[in-house]
């Protein structure tokens, strides 16, 4: 389901299609922070975006370890943690997967509204979700590399 | 002169003051077959008894007595007589008579009495009508006069075609204070107030009366002394044949009843308000232990129960959630009814709310149902409104759609119906292909405590309050709510319209360079803020944002414990705390509790992704002052900061 119709009037943003990977409105807020004399090269947003990608990688490693140890609680916390930063940047798909991991880790169903006490099932679902979220992060990574190249090219 | 009475065609007898016959007209003699000279000097009663036994002496006696007491003309009742004319032997004619008695006085002295007996009708008389005294027009008109004169509680009077009063009864005199001689001939508009007269109400009433055959009205009317009373007025036109003769008007004084009604209404309103307040308090009181029970239950369920125990615990949990939902509804409804419900003006992001509602409800979707949305590109991305209340309405309608749709689709359509320089009107429709609503029940949809499925085998749970809450909420937001059936397919379309204001400062849309708001820069100067946030990325973003707003000194805590420590070390340093809710070691709520325990009342703003209304209220209950959903919206954060920093200035 694609929800956002990008509302920016100006051109450069709409020309770049993030698909449904990025909530444009939220991401704009981060880009807005670049503007200022001290930051002509989009350094701030770039550092945040790529900082996030690193954070994601570290988190995934921790998640894999927790998976091996069947530590659902740890998985839930890690899911929540990465959910927070992906939400701040508007990386919707990543955020949605992290939220599911958080819920399964808390022994609930994927929406978090009903309990799910079958731990094997929960671990299996998290394992699948972790693969997906890695793919999502990879996609975001590629998009962002392209996007910042395009920005540099323009300036 | 004598010849007048001798030859008058109306059968007439002239009596002296002692009721003896002075003269009898030829017409009388002819009719009753009498000899005039034989009648002279007879006492009238003897005359009637001996000469015309067919006439009723009592009725005549009564009329004469009345005429002498009132000095006015009086009538006897009608008498029927069959007269056998002497020249015909086979037929008899039935005639009906009545006497008309006219006393002639000079000053107080009685001179003569004129008794006339005009022939009424020669046609054969309907027995049924005449044998009964009630059918007699003279008798009835007299009875009516008595009736009308003895009714003291109603003003009953006639007015002519132009509205001038022509008759007056004692009731009218009592109610309106005018005596008969004051009022006869005056226009009835005199009873109306100045404003009514200016609005030509009296004339209009007569016009309506002619058109519709009747006018009934309640309103203030004025007495002779200028005091007013609450009147019920009934006017009907009176026709004689085809001609309008005038109007009859009946007025009642309802002042007492009106006052009693007002007392009743205010007593009722008072009681109803008390009830709502009571409900609101009680629901609040019930909710708190309910939350406790449910949280304890979910902990219990994690303690390795046997499958059977788990099954039972799930039932408790499910029933508990339903109960909580109902209590929440009652609380909302009673707050709305008690008028203590307010909307909070905030930045509302419509696509965001719709997206969230769809996402949150995916789980309750039945397998054969699709759920999506269509947003008008013209709707504003951000506007000023109450996002929580908007979401509440939408969630409620979507919740219903989910409940009643077993297959097909549910769609949310959001369209811009109107916009001007200051506001937008946005229509949101929830369209489903569910069971729909029978046409005869659509009228009661928005009535509180009504559920359409009242059968004993109810499939659907609920308090029956959802839609009436939505209705009130939509009205609070300057809009309306409605229903129409889904054309072509079965199912329902619920729609609501809300009014949103434009943001004074447009959210800076990329890549417009937004200058920081002057106010916040001024407010930020010299202020120190504590940011409690565990995620490094979010910390960096928040720090950057706060710096852009003009906050130069921002301390960071990466968990709740650090936050508490920082505040305790420098209790008077911070003007405000931004508190993430889920943090390791000590979460935001626990940290807030600790800070409040130290007796510090710094504004603490919660930041969380749990954008649920109940959570928000729970946070406020725990001592947090306000709430910003995550991901943090720039404009919203700005407003919240402005609000709380300004407040602390005005308090200091």
> Which among B31-45, B68-82, B168-182 has the top mean pLDDT?
B168-182
pLDDT surpasses 50 at B645: yes
pLDDT, chain A, mean: 82
How large is the average pLDDT for residues A116-131?
A: 92
Question: Is the CB of B541 less than 8 angstroms away from the CB of A84?
Answer: no
Query: Which has the minimum average pLDDT: A32-36, A111-115, B615-619?
Result: B615-619
Domain borders along chain A are: 42-154
Cβ-defined contact of B360 to A80 (cutoff 8 Å):
no
DSSP E strand stretches across B25-116: 74-75, 79-83, 93-97, 100-106, 109-116
B288-312 pLDDT, tens digit each: 788 788 888 888 887 888 989 988 8
The pLDDT value recorded for residue B450 is 66
Residue A121 has pLDDT above 70, yes or no: yes
What stretch(es) of chain B map to CATH 3.40.50.2300? 518-651
pLDDT of residue A26: 86
CB contact under 8 A, A30 and B536: no
As a whole number, mean pLDDT of residues B128-149 equals 62
Mean pLDDT check: name the lowest of A60-69, B227-236, B369-378. B369-378
- Does residue B132 surpass a pLDDT of 70? no
Task: Tell me: pLDDT of A4 over 50.
Answer: no
Measure CB to CB from residue A10 to each of B511, B537, B538 and give the nearest one: B511
Report the residue from A32, A47, A89 with minimal CB separation from B510.
A32
Task: Note the pLDDT of residue B582.
Answer: 81
**In the predicted model, is pLDDT for residue B4 greater than 50?**
yes
Q: What is the pLDDT of residue A40?
A: 61
Confidence band for B133, pLDDT divided at 50, 70 and 90: very low
Lowest-confidence range among B153-157, B193-197, B513-517?
B513-517
Which residues of chain B lie closer than 8 angstroms to A32, CB-CB? Answer: 508, 510, 514, 634
* Whether the predicted pLDDT of A5 surpasses 60: no
C-alpha B56/C-alpha B497 separation (Å) is 83
Least confident residue range of A82-96, A104-118, B82-96, B221-235: B82-96
Please tell me the predicted confidence (pLDDT) of residue B428: 94
The confidence band for B17, taking pLDDT boundaries of 50, 70 and 90, is confident
**B398 in Cβ contact with B412 (< 8 Å):** yes
**CATH top-level class of B518-651:** alpha beta
How far B314 CA sits from the closest chain A CA (Å)?
A: 9
Mean pLDDT of all residues in A32-53: 78
The minimal CB distance from A109 to the residues B363, B373, B632 is found for B363
Q: Residue B513: pLDDT above 50?
A: no
B-chain CB neighbours of A88 within 8 Å are 535, 537-538, 541, 630-632
Pinpoint the residues of chain B covered by CATH 1.10.287.130.
267-338
Q: What pLDDT, on a 0 to 100 scale, did the predictor assign at position A39?
A: 54
Distances (CA, A) of B312 to A62, B318, B324, B460, B466: 36, 10, 18, 21, 29
Residue B81 DSSP class: E
Contact B327, B290 (CB under 8 A): yes
Contact call for A88 and B634, based on CB within 8 A:
no
Asked if B538 and A85 come within 8 Å (Cβ–Cβ), the reply is yes
**Predicted complex ipTM exceeds 0.90:** no
Per-residue confidence (pLDDT) for residue B415, from 0 to 100: 92
Q: What is the mean pLDDT of chain B?
A: 80
Q: Which of B650, B625, B645 is nearest to B525 (CA)?
A: B645
Q: Percent of chain B beyond pLDDT 90?
A: 10
In this prediction, residue B576 carries a pLDDT of: 92
Q: What is the pLDDT of residues B72-126, one digit of tens each?
A: 888 777 666 555 444 444 444 556 667 888 888 888 888 888 888 876 544 444 4
Test A55 with B609 for CB contact under 8 angstroms: no
Question: Chain A partners of B381 at a C-beta cutoff of 8 Å?
Answer: 7, 25
Chain B residue with CA closest to A39: the answer is: B544
Task: Residue A89: list chain B partners with CB under 8 A.
Answer: 537, 541, 631
**B515 min Cα distance to partner chain A (Å):** 10
Determine which of B228-237, B299-308, B485-494 has the lowest per-residue pLDDT on average: B485-494
The answer to whether the Cβ–Cβ distance between A13 and B511 falls below 8 Å is: yes
pLDDT band at A15 (very low <50, low <70, confident <90, very high): low
Per the model's pLDDT, the better-predicted residue between A29 and A2 turns out to be A29
Q: Which residue of A has its CA nearest to B549?
A: A33
Q: Which residues of B touch A29 (CB under 8 A)?
A: 545, 631, 633-634
Question: B29 falls in which pLDDT band (50, 70, 90)?
Answer: confident
Locate the chain A residue with the closest alpha carbon to B634: A29
Q: Inter-chain contact B298–A115, Cβ cutoff 8 Å?
A: yes
Which pLDDT band holds residue A66 (cuts at 50, 70, 90)?
very high
CB B228 within 8 A of CB B220: yes
Which of these ranges, B44-58, B74-88, B192-206, B244-258, has the smallest mean pLDDT?
Answer: B74-88
Q: Which of B511, B583, B630 to mutate to test the interface with A (most CBs of A within 10 A)?
A: B511
Nearest CB among B362, B381, B580 relative to A25 is that of: B381
pLDDT of residue B30: 81
What is the rounded CA–CA span in Å between residue B310 and residue B47? 115
Write down the pLDDT at residue B348: 84
Of A8, A88, A113, the CB nearest to B537: A88
DSSP B604: E
Shortest CA gap B467–chain A (Å): 23
Q: Give the integer Cα–Cα distance in Å for A67 and A127.
A: 7
Per-residue confidence band for B510, with pLDDT thresholds at 50, 70 and 90: very low
Compare CB distances from B511 to A12, A90, A111 and report the shortest one's residue.
A12
pLDDT tens digit sequence for B312-338:
888 888 888 778 877 777 777 777 776
Residue B234's pLDDT band, with cuts at 50, 70 and 90, is very high
Region B144-161 average pLDDT:
86
Say which CATH class B346-501 falls into.
alpha beta
pLDDT of the residue at B480? 92
Whether A115 and B317 lie within 8 Å, measured CB to CB: yes
Show the DSSP H helices in B339-414 as ranges: 350-361, 387-404
Say if CB B59 and CB B43 are below 8 A apart. Answer: no
Chain A nearest-CA distance from B642, in A, is 19
Cβ separation of B630 and A87 shorter than 8 Å?
A: yes
Can you say how many angstroms the Cα of residue A89 is from the centroid of all Cα atoms in its chain? 7
**Could you say which residues from 120 to 149 on chain A have a Cβ atom under 8 Å away from some Cβ of chain B?**
none
Contact A111 B362 (CB under 8 A): yes
CATH number for region A42-154:
1.20.120.160
* Residue for token pair 């998290």: A126
Instruction: Name which of B317, B469, B476, B293 is nearest B385 in CA terms.
Output: B476
Please name the member of A10, A77, A117 whose beta carbon is closest to the beta carbon of B510.
A10
pLDDT at B138: 59
Q: Which CATH number fits domain B2-128: 3.30.360.10, 3.40.50.2300, 3.30.450.20, 3.40.640.10?
A: 3.30.450.20
Domain B151-253, CATH:
3.30.450.20
Contact (CB<8Å) A4/B351: yes
CB pairs under 8 A between A and B: 112
Query: What pLDDT is attached to residue B639?
Result: 84
Q: If you measure CA to CA, which chain B residue comes closest to A36?
A: B513
Residue B488: the pLDDT is 65
- Across the interface, do A1 and B373 touch by the CB < 8 Å criterion? yes
CB B16 within 8 A of CB B110: no
Given a contact cutoff of 8 angstroms between Cβ atoms, the answer to whether A106 and A118 are in contact is no
Cα separations (Å) of B618 from B287, B288, B326, B626?
11, 9, 17, 11
Residues of B in contact with A56 (CB under 8 A): none
Mean predicted confidence (pLDDT) in B390-417: 89
Pick B204 or B139 by higher pLDDT.
B204
- Cα(B554)–Cα(B547) distance, rounded to whole angstroms? 8
**Which pair of structure tokens corresponds to residue B115?**
């008794």
Is B584 in Cβ contact with A77 (below 8 Å)? yes
Interface test with B, best of A35, A38, A44, A109 (most B CBs within 10 A): A35
Where do the CATH 3.30.565.10 domains begin and end in chain B?
Answer: 346-501
CATH of B267-338, one of 3.40.50.300, 3.40.50.620, 3.40.50.740, 1.10.287.130: 1.10.287.130
In angstroms, the separation between the Cα of residue B377 and the nearest Cα of chain A is 7
Please, which residues 57-76 of chain A have a Cβ atom closer than 8 Å to chain B? none
Cis peptide bond N-terminal to B511, omega within 30: yes
pLDDT above 80: residue B127: no
For B588-610, the pLDDT digits (tens) are 888 998 888 887 888 899 888 76
Residues in chain A with CB shorter than 8 Å from the CB of B352 are: 25
Indicate which of A57, A77, A85, A140 best probes the interface with B, i.e. most B CBs within 10 Å of its own CB.
Answer: A85
């Amino acid at each position: 389901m694609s929800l956002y119709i990008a509302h920016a009037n100006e051109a450069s943003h709409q020309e770049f299609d993030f698909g449904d990977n990025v909530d444009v409105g939220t991401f704009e807020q981060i880009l807005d922070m670049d503007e200022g004399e001290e930051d002509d090269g989009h350094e701030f947003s770039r550092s945040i975006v790529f900082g996030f990608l690193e954070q994601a990688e570290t988190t995934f490693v921790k998640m894999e370890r927790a998976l091996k140890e069947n530590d659902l609680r740890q998985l839930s916390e890690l899911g929540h943690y990465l959910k927070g930063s992906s939400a701040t940047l508007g990386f919707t798909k990543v955020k949605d997967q992290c939220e599911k991991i958080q819920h399964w880790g808390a022994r609930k169903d994927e929406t978090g509204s009903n309990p799910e006490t079958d731990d094997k099932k929960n671990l299996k679902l998290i394992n699948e979700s972790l693969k997906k979220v890695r793919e999502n992060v990879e996609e975001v990574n590629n998009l962002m590399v392209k996007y910042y190249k395009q920005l540099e090219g323009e300036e | 002169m004598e010849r007048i009475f001798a030859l008058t065609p109306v059968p007439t007898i002239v009596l002296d003051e002692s009721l003896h016959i002075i003269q009898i007209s030829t017409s009388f003699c002819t009719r009753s077959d009498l000899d005039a000279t034989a009648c002279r000097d007879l006492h009238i009663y003897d005359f009637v008894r001996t000469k015309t036994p067919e006439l009723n002496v009592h009725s005549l006696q009564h009329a004469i007595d009345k005429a002498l007491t009132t000095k006015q003309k009086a009538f006897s009742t009608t008498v029927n007589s069959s007269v056998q004319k002497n020249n015909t032997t086979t037929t008899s004619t039935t005639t009906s008579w009545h006497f008309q008695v006219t006393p002639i006085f000079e000053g107080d002295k009685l001179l003569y009495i004129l008794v006339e007996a005009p022939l009424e009708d020669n046609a054969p008389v309907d027995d049924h009508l005449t044998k009964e005294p009630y059918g007699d027009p003279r008798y009835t008109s007299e009875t009516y006069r008595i009736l009308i004169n003895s009714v003291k509680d109603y003003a009953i009077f006639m007015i002519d075609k132009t509205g001038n009063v022509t008759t007056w009864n004692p009731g009218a005199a009592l109610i309106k204070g005018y005596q008969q001689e004051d009022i006869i001939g005056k226009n009835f508009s005199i009873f109306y107030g100045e404003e009514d007269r200016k609005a030509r109400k009296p004339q209009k009433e007569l016009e309506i009366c002619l058109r519709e055959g009747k006018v009934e009205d309640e309103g203030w009317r004025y007495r002779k002394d200028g005091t007013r009373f609450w009147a019920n007025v009934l006017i009907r036109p009176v026709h004689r044949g085809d001609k309008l003769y005038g109007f009859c008007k009946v007025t009642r004084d309802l002042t007492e009843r009106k006052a009693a009604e007002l007392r009743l209404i205010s007593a009722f309103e008072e009681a109803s308000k008390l009830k709502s307040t009571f409900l609101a308090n009680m629901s609040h009181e019930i909710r708190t232990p309910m939350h406790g029970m449910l949280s304890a239950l979910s902990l219990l369920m994690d303690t390795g129960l046997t499958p059977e125990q788990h099954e039972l615990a799930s039932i408790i949990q499910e029933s508990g959630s339903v109960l909580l939902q109902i209590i929440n509804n009652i609380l909302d409804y009673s707050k709305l009814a008690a008028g203590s419900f307010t909307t909070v003006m905030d930045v509302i992001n419509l696509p965001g709310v719709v997206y969230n509602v769809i996402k949150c409800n995916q789980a309750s979707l039945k397998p054969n149902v699709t759920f999506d949305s269509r947003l008008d590109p013209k709707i504003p991305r951000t506007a000023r409104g109450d996002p929580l209340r908007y979401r509440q309405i939408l969630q409620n309608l979507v919740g219903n759609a989910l409940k009643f749709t077993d297959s097909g689709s549910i769609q949310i359509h959001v369209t811009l119906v109107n916009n001007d320089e200051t506001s937008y009107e946005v229509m949101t429709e929830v369209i489903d292909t569910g069971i729909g609503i029978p046409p005869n029940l659509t009228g009661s949809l928005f009535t509180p405590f009504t559920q359409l499925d009242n059968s004993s085998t109810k499939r659907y749970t609920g308090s029956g309050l959802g839609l009436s809450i939505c209705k009130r909420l939509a009205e609070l937001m300057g809009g309306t709510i409605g229903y129409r059936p889904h054309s072509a397919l079965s199912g329902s379309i619920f729609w609501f319209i809300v009014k949103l204001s434009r943001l004074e400062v447009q959210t800076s849309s990329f890549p417009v360079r937004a200058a920081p708001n002057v106010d916040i820069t001024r407010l930020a100067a010299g202020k120190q803020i504590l940011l409690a946030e565990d995620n490094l990325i979010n910390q960096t973003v928040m720090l950057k944002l706060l710096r852009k707003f003009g906050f130069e000194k921002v301390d960071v805590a990466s968990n709740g414990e650090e936050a508490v420590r920082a505040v305790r070390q420098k209790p008077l340093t911070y003007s405000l705390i931004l508190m993430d809710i889920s943090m390791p070691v000590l979460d935001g709520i626990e940290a807030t509790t600790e800070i409040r325990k130290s007796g510090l009342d710094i504004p603490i703003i919660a930041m969380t992704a749990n954008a649920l209304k109940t959570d928000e209220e729970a946070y406020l209950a725990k001592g947090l002052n306000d709430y910003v959903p995550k991901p943090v919206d720039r404009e919203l954060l700005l407003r919240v900061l402005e609000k709380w920093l300004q407040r602390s200035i005005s308090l200091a």
